[in-house]
Structures are given as structure tokens and as C-alpha cells.
């Protein structure tokens, strides 16, 4: 991509006969904040380490500002990494840790001191320069690691799950600080995380990875609202799955009524990229808990799918009740403000615009098309 700060072309990484990355293509614009998002083992950390030079590539290229750095050592790539463990020197002070990379570059002592003081002020660590890092809190140590990386003025900042060791309150605070700092400095950042909310909050572009490949990439709202596959839909929070049957109707799809669901009509504009409007057959419908409402088990409307179920489990996470509702042999999770008894019959109301539909690939055990003799929802 012309003008890209980072270009990854057909990148492959393997350990022996095991391929970890399979033909990755990714272009990152200058000043972008990109999150590599995925479950453990998907290849996101390997990709980050291949970019930084800590992992050898078996095929492909890594370009920074148009220059091929695929064979360059880590310290010659113009990058800096913040590690998950922070990797701070425990026998050094805060100031010595921040200035360590500058010392390796043989900068004059006075220049190092000025740069360290800049970092201390920028990261709200004033007065802590002489304190040993072992005497700092987790949030402060994270800032020291970030300061050490930024002190050398890297072209690209790499972040390897740097917030995973912080408690929830501090993690939320620091994620906003890192994003604000990245925007202020205009630095290009690549951030690895398995936390969907963290990626949504921090990044202006999300790259979802699965089994060594890029499953989808785009703006957070696009990946969240328009997943291209069942995997991406589930990973982005639409973890409830129901089995339905669809056929073309007008410019959209008609959902057939079944033993536990009403019929419904899905307009073409609401279908999303995961399914063709001409598709006929079994589908898996993904939806988020917050998209559903519980109510009486009555007939659905054209723009609302109704599921007939029974409360199987109830809990109170705070502010609302959370129910596992049995719908046939499946269970879906729905949040509701009112308390319901286990065993109570309920209707799950689902606006069709909030459904993510995908053709069943056979592994979802979707039911056959409804037959006249079947007991239909009513």
C-alpha cells in the first residue's frame, strides 16, 4: 500500500512442519492504532514478534515506510515493544529503566537526562525517577515500560498485551491514557489483545485473527456490526446461536416458522455480508444478549423473531438479571430488568436487524426445513 507505515506481504511463519501464520497481508497507515484481536493460539503474538524481528519468517516481507526490513535485527527496525511482563530491570530506578535504550544508543548523558525527564512528565511519573521499579504499583510499572519504548522515538510502537497484568479499574484507566498519548504523538501502534472491549476502545482499526489467518479487518463498528463469518460474530460478542431455515423472499430472506420460533422477514439491508439474499437452506443466527427482550410467548412480527423457551438458570450480575433460556435443545443468554422464576415459560423477542445470519456449514447440526406435520410456533 503506497504511503503505508507498515506493509506485511504474504507473511508466513512456521515451527517445523507446523504453520502458525498463513499468508498474512496487512497494510497500516501512518499514525494508525491497530489492534490484533483473537483467542490464544490464533497467531496474533507471533505476528507481532515477526514484525519486531524476534521471530524469523519463512516467507513474505515486512516493509517499514517502503523499506524491506524482513532480515533486519530487532534493534535496526525503528520499532519499540512494550512486553506483557514489562521486562523492567529490577535493580534499576525508574529513570534508569526509561533511559536504558538511549544509553545503548550511546546518547550523551545530558541528552538522556532531558529525554527521561520529558517521559516522566508525560507519563505522570514526576518525582518517581529515583524510585526502584520494584517499589512501584502495577500501573506505574506499565507506564515505565511505555516510557522506555517511547524514549527512543520509534517509528512504530508494538504493544504485546501490556494491560493484562493490571486489575480491572487500573486497566480501564491506562487504556485511555495509552490511546490519548498515541494520538497526541501521532505514532503508529500495533496492539495485541484477546480482550474485545479493549480493542474496541483503543483501536481505530481491528484485525481479527483465527488459525494463523486474518478473519476480518476494519473499523471497530464495522467489524462489530457487520461480521463476515460466524467465527467473527461469536468472537465480537454475538455468542448466542439458534438454528433456523431461510429462503429468498422479495429482496431479502424469509425465516420459516419452526417448533420453537416464529416466522420473520429479513430485509436485504439487514442481512449483512455473511449471507447471500438468494440463499435457501439452514442458517445459524447469532445475536447478542443485549439485543433480546423477554416477554410473553406470543406470535412474532415480520421484523421480530420470537423464540419460545423456558428459564433454565438465573443470576444477578448487578443492575439486571441474567437468564439462560432453553429453546429446544439450545440455550441462549438474555439480560432482563425483571426477576423471573426458573422453569417459567418466556418469549425471547429478537429484532431481525440484530441477527447475524450465516449458512450452516453442516457442523452446526441445523435442522431440516420445517415440514407440515411439525409442531410450529404459535
CATH number at residue 333: 2.40.50.140
Last residue of a domain, one of 230, 258, 284: 230
Residues 142 and 18 in one domain: yes
Instruction: Say if residue 87's pLDDT is above 90.
Output: no
Instruction: Say if residue 81's pLDDT is above 70.
Output: yes
Q: Which H or E run includes 46?
A: helix 44-52
pLDDT band at 301 (very low <50, low <70, confident <90, very high): low
Average pLDDT of the chain, as a whole number: 89
pLDDT average, residue stretch 94-122: 90
Taking CA 121 as the corner, what is the angle to CA 118 and CA 126, rounded to the nearest 5 degrees? 125
Last residue of a domain, one of 175, 207, 230: 230
Instruction: Say if residue 295's pLDDT is above 90.
Output: no
- Look-up of cell digits 409442531: 375
Residues 278 and 251 in one domain: yes
pLDDT band at 52 (very low <50, low <70, confident <90, very high): very high
Count of domains for the chain: 2
Instruction: Say if residue 162's pLDDT is above 90.
Output: no
Residues 176 and 264 in one domain: no
Task: State the pLDDT at residue 370.
Answer: 38
377 within some domain = no
Cell of 5: 507505515
Task: State the pLDDT at residue 172.
Answer: 83
Residues 261 and 215 in one domain: no
pLDDT digits (tens, 9 = 90+) for 183-220: 988 999 999 999 999 999 999 999 999 999 999 999 99
> Within a 10 A sphere around the Cβ of 280, how many other Cβ atoms?
14
The tally of CA atoms less than 13 A away on the side-chain side of residue 4 is 17
Cell of 211: 488459525
Instruction: Say if residue 367's pLDDT is above 60.
Output: no
**Containing structural domain, residue 38:** 6-230
pLDDT average, residue stretch 339-363: 91
340 within some domain = yes
Q: Residues of the chain with pLDDT > 90: what percent?
A: 66
Last residue of a domain, one of 208, 230, 252: 230
pLDDT band at 300 (very low <50, low <70, confident <90, very high): low
Instruction: Say if residue 371's pLDDT is above 50.
Output: no
373 within some domain = no
Give dist(CA 205, CA 187) in Å, integer: 14
pLDDT band at 376 (very low <50, low <70, confident <90, very high): very low
CA–centroid distance for 335 within its chain: 22
Q: Are 37 and 199 in contact (CB under 8 A)?
A: yes
185 within some domain = yes
Give dist(CA 292, CA 306) in Å, integer: 10
> Which DSSP symbol is given to 212?
T
84 within some domain = yes
pLDDT average, residue stretch 111-138: 89
Give dist(CA 12, CA 214) in Å, integer: 12
Write out 299-361 in H/E/C secondary structure.
Answer: CCCCCEEEEEEEEEEEECCCCCEEEEEEECCEEEEEEECCCCCCCCEEEEEEEHHHCEEEECC
Amino acid at each position: 500500500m503506497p504511503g503505508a507505515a507498515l506493509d506485511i506481504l504474504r507473511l508466513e511463519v512456521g515451527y517445523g512442519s507446523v504453520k502458525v501464520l498463513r499468508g498474512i497481508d496487512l497494510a497500516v497507515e501512518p499514525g494508525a492504532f491497530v489492534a490484533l484481536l483473537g483467542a490464544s493460539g490464533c497467531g496474533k503474538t507471533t505476528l507481532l514478534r515477526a514484525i519486531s524481528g524476534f521471530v524469523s519468517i519463512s516467507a513474505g516481507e515486512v516493509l517499514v515506510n517502503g523499506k524491506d526490513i524482513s532480515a533486519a535485527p530487532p534493534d535496526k527496525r525503528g520499532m519499540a515493544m512494550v512486553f506483557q511482563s514489562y521486562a523492567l530491570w529490577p535493580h534499576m530506578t525508574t529513570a534508569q529503566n526509561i533511559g536504558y535504550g538511549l544509553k545503548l544508543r550511546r546518547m550523551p548523558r545530558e541528552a538522556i537526562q532531558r529525554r527521561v525527564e520529558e517521559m516522566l512528565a508525560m507519563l505522570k511519573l514526576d518525582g518517581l525517577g529515583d524510585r526502584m521499579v520494584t517499589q512501584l504499583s502495577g500501573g506505574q510499572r506499565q507506564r515505565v515500560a511505555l516510557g522506555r519504548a517511547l524514549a527512543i522515538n520509534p517509528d512504530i510502537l508494538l504493544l504485546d498485551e501490556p494491560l493484562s497484568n493490571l486489575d480491572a479499574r487500573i486497566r480501564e484507566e491506562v487504556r485511555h491514557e495509552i490511546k490519548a498519548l498515541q494520538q497526541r504523538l501521532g505514532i503508529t501502534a500495533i496492539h495485541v489483545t484477546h480482550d474485545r472491549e479493549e480493542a474496541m476502545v483503543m483501536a481505530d482499526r481491528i484485525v481479527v485473527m483465527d488459525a494463523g489467518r486474518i478473519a476480518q479487518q476494519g473499523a471497530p463498528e464495522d467489524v462489530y456490526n457487520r461480521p463476515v463469518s460466524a467465527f467473527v460474530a461469536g468472537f465480537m460478542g454475538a455468542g448466542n446461536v439458534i438454528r433456523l431455515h431461510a429462503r429468498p423472499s422479495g429482496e431479502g430472506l424469509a425465516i420459516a416458522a419452526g417448533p420453537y420460533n416464529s416466522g420473520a422477514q429479513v430485509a436485504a439491508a439487514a442481512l449483512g455480508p455473511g449471507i447471500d439474499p438468494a440463499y435457501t437452506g439452514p442458517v445459524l443466527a447469532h445475536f447478542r444478549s443485549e439485543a433480546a427482550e423477554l416477554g410473553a410467548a406470543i406470535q412474532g412480527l415480520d421484523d421480530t423473531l420470537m423464540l419460545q423457551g423456558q428459564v433454565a438458570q438465573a443470576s444477578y450480575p448487578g443492575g439486571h438479571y441474567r437468564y439462560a433460556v432453553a429453546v429446544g435443545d439450545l440455550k441462549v443468554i438474555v439480560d432482563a430488568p425483571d426477576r423471573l422464576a426458573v422453569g417459567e415459560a418466556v418469549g425471547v423477542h429478537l429484532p431481525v436487524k440484530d441477527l447475524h445470519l450465516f449458512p450452516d456449514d453442516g457442523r452446526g447440526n441445523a435442522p431440516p426445513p420445517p415440514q407440515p406435520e411439525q409442531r410450529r410456533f404459535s
